[in-house]
Amino acid sequence: MALLNPPEIRPSGIVVITRYLAAQRGQQDTVERLMGTLAPASLPGDPRNDVSANLRAGTDLGLFVRSDDKVALADVVPTAVDGADRAMIKLLRERVFDDSLNNTAWRSQVGARDLTNALSWFLTFAAAEAPIRQEGGPRAAEALQLVDFGPRQQEGESSNWPIGNNTRWVSFRRWACTLGFAWANPNGHLIPDPTVAVRDALPEIFGGARELTAHEFVRKLGVRVPVLDGGRYREFVTENWKRPRSENRGLTAPLSDALERLSNEKAILLDDRADAARVAKADGSTFSHVRIGTRR
């Protein structure tokens, strides 16, 4: 399995199957009845292929359990389905980040590795520098990946580029926006923005604490959202690229901007105390402590 290919795999398709099974008795159904309901022959194209691809992807992500001709929701799913849409997306994000789906070597795109590599790379770019298309013209992903990873080397499900072609770029756009790591501006350009993902992680980052040092906050954030600064998947990508090490030791622009947005909406409060160790943001401003805010 790879989440960026085949192109039929969509996070929305996985969510539709999840909600269908949640509405069935025992939260399970036969594969044939599920296909007949979600992929009737009257739909254009090849709807059965679309549903099959998303059913396989959801099963590999641990959301569905297949047994003979039946499929059921996994035990981790019902609580998320019963809640708001945000809970379902949070669960999907957590499954994408599961270590068991991200344990292959560099160049492998098996499991969720292709998506976490792509997110880790994309979220290092400021909005004005991020790729806006796969190929052709300025700020093309292929040109930026050529600089960071060298000439593309593709062998089956193995590639040294996180986003190897236009098909994967289109799939990446869907996943990045759905999981809370990007949004498309009026021109259709993808903007790196992890604000939603960071906001969702705040309860686990703070636990019962009201305040964390800046360094502890960033460390815990990297554990919960490992495609961001200091996270294990971000480190995995930076260990395998050719980009010169930046002299700027501060946070990347997407994370810096996300913290500023969350501070403005009072989800967190950033303090800068003169007698404490500080973390620098991309613009050079610093903060030493992070407090949980009044809006979450």
Report DSSP letters for 108-138, one per residue: B--BTHHHHHHHHHHTTS-TTTS--BSSSST
| pLDDT at residue 296, as a whole number | 56
Q: What is the mean pLDDT of residues 42-64?
A: 95
| pLDDT at residue 67, as a whole number | 92
Q: Looking at the predicted structure, is the pLDDT value of residue 141 above 80?
A: yes
Q: Which one of 67-81, 147-161, 200-214 scores highest in mean pLDDT?
A: 200-214
| Dihedral sign computed on CA atoms, order 180, 13, 189, 176 | positive
DSSP 8-class letter at 140:
B
What average pLDDT does the chain have?
Answer: 94
Q: Looking at the predicted structure, is the pLDDT value of residue 245 above 90?
A: no
* Residue 183 to residues 37, 98, 160, 265, 283, Cα–Cα distance (Å): 31, 24, 26, 18, 22
Residues 6+ apart with CB under 8 A from 12: 174, 178
The percentage of residues in the chain with a pLDDT greater than 90, rounded to a whole number, is: 86
Strands 190-192 and 70-73: unpaired
DSSP 8-class letter at 46:
-
Residue 119 near residue 181 (C-beta atoms within 8 A): yes
Kindly report, residue by residue over 77-115, the tens digit of the pLDDT. 987 787 778 899 999 999 999 999 999 999 998 999 999
CA 34 to CA 48: how far, in whole Å?
Answer: 10
CA 126 to CA 14: how far, in whole Å?
Answer: 30
Q: What is the mean pLDDT of residues 1-14?
A: 94
Helix (H) and strand (E) counts for the chain? 12, 12
CA 156 to CA 258: how far, in whole Å?
Answer: 36
CA 266 to CA 278: how far, in whole Å?
Answer: 20
**Among candidates 199, 264, 235, which has minimal Cα distance to 123?**
235
pLDDT band of 200, cuts 50, 70, 90: very high
Q: What is the pTM of this model?
A: 0.96
